[in-house]
């Protein structure tokens, strides 16, 4: 792989952290056949819950001795930094999680602690990124038209410190072309559609043909589900996403029906916000609660970024008046707090995939309104 003189100097900078970051990026480039490094606008670090990385990961983060060169943001932690006691988080876990946050701040990363950095970072079509959060990656590539591979937390840190990434995969236009046309039923739930598509297509890029327009929130849930069940980094939707006209329509076709896969259990927790809830989703939840006009009867947790929560403080306060808890900094998937429940109801294919694997709980699926009605024991 060709390196510029300035890049070669980073290998011999005398700073072990910078040199190691360069070695990581070069190794990835050589594995995937990249010819060079390219500049990236921002990096986003995933996998920072203490339960995920443990003491070894914490010690590695604390050993870093360099500052990021570009805007570098951070994924959700294993707890709400202010309301961790309400979540049932142990004090020992809290202390270790706060050390992780401080270590990331030490390299100059911004602890926004959300999986939806695209709500807070003004990214544009064609911009190169180094993001490590599957749902954010597929959103940036598909809905915005930015360019990022599926980075790991470590390679995202390396890109943040170097300011570059290897040019391969989603950074190259022709690699973003669809391989299969996916025809969706008119009544298909977007999150469940993504769940099914990801399960069926492990390496192909789909072009979706739908019989209605999807909102950005629906596209977010669709992509997050697809990235969780498969290995998807991008999808296209006819008439909606920015690059769908740039490529030939694939000859191969599959159809996805509107049937909801059954996950049968009686929920003792309703959890929404995987990916983190948007402003419009918070307002939709409040509207549903007002329509039912009854306090929740089951534990109901919502997850959103601190910035979205603070921006919509009055909406959040009104939601919590119904007995709902609105948490920030974390989510039901990365926090051990979920493990004390038997069955969690979600509207997310990503949560549907990861909760049984990571938190060892059973899951039930419904759309946003069905989840809120279940939380109030309202079936009709």
Tokens describing residue 357: 């694997």
Co-location of 79 and 212 in the same domain: no
pTM of the model: 0.96
- Whether 54 contacts 60, CB under 8 Å: no
Q: What is the pLDDT at residue 95? A: 98
pLDDT tens digit at each of 380 positions of the chain? 999 999 999 999 899 999 999 999 999 999 999 999 999 999 999 999 999 999 999 999 999 999 999 999 999 999 999 999 999 999 999 999 999 999 999 999 999 999 999 999 899 999 999 999 999 999 999 999 999 999 999 999 999 999 999 999 999 999 999 999 999 988 889 999 999 999 999 889 999 999 999 999 999 999 999 999 998 999 999 999 999 999 999 999 999 987 776 788 999 999 999 999 999 999 999 999 999 999 999 999 999 999 999 999 999 999 999 999 999 999 999 999 999 999 999 999 999 999 999 999 999 999 999 999 999 988 65
Predicted local confidence at residue 75, as pLDDT: 98
Let me know whether 120 and 66 are in one domain.
Answer: yes
Q: Do the Cβ atoms of 302 and 277 come closer than 8 Å?
A: yes
Q: Domain boundary at 234, 256, 278, which? A: 256
| Count of beta carbons in the 10 Å neighbourhood of residue 313 | 9
Whether residues 137 and 192 fall in one domain: no
Identify whether residues 11 and 156 lie together within a single domain: yes
Give the CATH number for residue 192: 3.30.70
Q: How far is CA 347 from CA 114, 116, 272, 316, in A?
A: 18, 17, 7, 19
Give yes or no: residues 157 and 227 share one domain. no
CA distances, 231 to each of 75, 154, 224, 350 (Å):
19, 19, 11, 12
Could you give the number of structural domains in the chain?
Answer: 3
73 and 148 together in one domain: yes
3-state secondary structure of 324: coil
Rounded-to-integer distance, Cα 367 and Cα 365, Å: 7
Q: Do you know the residue count of the chain?
A: 380
Write out the H or E segment, with its range, that includes residue 147: none
For residues 277 and 338, membership in a common domain is answered with: yes
What is the domain extent for residue 277? 269-375
Looking at the fold, whether 243 and 317 belong to one and the same domain comes out as no
In a domain, 262, yes or no: no
pLDDT in the model for residue 379:
65
CA distances to 69, 144, 281, 344 from 218, in Å: 34, 14, 10, 21
Whether 361 and 339 have beta carbons less than 8 Å apart is answered as yes
Rounded distance between C-alpha atoms, residue 190 and residue 255, angstroms: 14
Of 256, 288, 313, which residue is a domain's last? 256
């Amino acid at each position: 792989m060709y390196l510029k003189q300035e890049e070669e100097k980073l290998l011999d900078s005398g700073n072990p952290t910078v040199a190691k970051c360069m070695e990581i990026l070069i190794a990835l480039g050589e594995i995937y056949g990249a010819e060079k490094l390219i500049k990236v606008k921002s990096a986003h670090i995933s996998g920072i819950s203490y339960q995920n990385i443990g003491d070894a990961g914490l010690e590695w983060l604390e050993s870093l001795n360099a500052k990021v060169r570009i805007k570098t943001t951070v994924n959700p932690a294993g707890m709400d930094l202010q309301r961790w006691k309400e979540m049932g988080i142990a004090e020992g876990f809290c202390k270790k999680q706060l050390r992780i946050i401080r270590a990331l701040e030490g390299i100059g990363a911004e602890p926004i602690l959300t999986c939806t950095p695209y709500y807070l970072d003004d990214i544009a079509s064609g911009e190169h990124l180094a993001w490590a959060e599957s749902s954010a990656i597929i959103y940036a590539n598909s809905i915005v038209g930015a360019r990022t591979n599926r980075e790991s937390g470590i390679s995202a840190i390396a890109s943040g410190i170097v300011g570059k990434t290897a040019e391969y995969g989603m950074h190259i236009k022709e690699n973003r072309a669809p391989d299969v046309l996916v025809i969706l039923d008119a009544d298909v739930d977007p999150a469940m559609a993504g769940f099914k598509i990801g399960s069926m297509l492990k390496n192909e890029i789909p072009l979706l043909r739908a019989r209605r327009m999807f909102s950005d929130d629906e596209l977010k849930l669709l992509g997050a589900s697809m990235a969780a069940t498969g290995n998807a980094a991008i999808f296209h939707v006819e008439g909606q996403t920015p690059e769908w006209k740039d490529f030939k329509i694939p000859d191969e076709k599959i159809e996805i029906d509107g049937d909801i896969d059954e996950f049968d259990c009686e929920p003792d927790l309703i959890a929404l916000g995987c990916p983190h809830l948007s402003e419009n989703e918070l307002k939709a939840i409040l509207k549903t609660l007002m329509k039912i006009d009854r306090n929740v009867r089951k534990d109901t947790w919502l997850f959103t970024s601190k910035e979205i929560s603070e921006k919509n403080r009055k909406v959040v306060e009104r939601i919590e008046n119904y007995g709902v808890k609105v948490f920030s900094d974390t989510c039901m998937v990365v926090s051990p707090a979920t493990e004390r429940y038997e069955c969690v109801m979600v509207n997310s294919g990503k949560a549907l995939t990861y909760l049984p694997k990571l938190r060892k709980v059973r899951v039930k699926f419904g759309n946003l309104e069905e989840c809120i009605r279940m939380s109030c024991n309202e079936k009709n």
